[in-house]
Amino acid sequence: MGRPSKYAPEFQNEAVRLVLDGGKSIREAAESLGMKTETLRKWVNREKVERGVKAGLTRAEVEELKALKKENARLKQHVDILEKATAFFASRGLDARK
């Protein structure tokens, strides 16, 4: 999805836990961890979506949507090829089904 994070996943999870489960504000947690407030805010919001607390697509849903869009594009290409083949055979008076 984006560039790789400079923070380990374990660090991210612990930082988010400080806010969501530990009762610290985002600013307090970010300052105590020596990181930018906005970075932690993004992590917290993403986790809220994952937990179903906040509206939005989960990571799994985003990945599924990407896969479905890719499959849809592939199927559209197949349909286009079949339509062209049908038109080609029809213009020559041939039945493509035989």
DSSP sequence for the chain: --SPPSS-HHHHHHHHHHHHTT---HHHHHHHHTS-HHHHHHHHHHHHHHHTSS-S--HHHHHHHHHHHHHHHHHHHHHHHHHHHHHHHHHTT--TT-
pTM of this structure: 0.59
Each domain of the chain, given as residue ranges in start order, spans 1-56, 59-98
pLDDT, tens digit (0-9, with 9 covering 90-100), for 27-84: 999 999 999 999 999 999 999 988 888 888 888 999 999 999 999 999 999 999 999 9
Query: Is the pLDDT at 5 greater than 70, yes or no?
Result: yes
| Per-residue pLDDT at 16 | 96
| Per-residue pLDDT at 9 | 93
- State the average pLDDT over residues 90-97: 75
Fold of 1-56: Arc Repressor Mutant, subunit A (1.10.10)
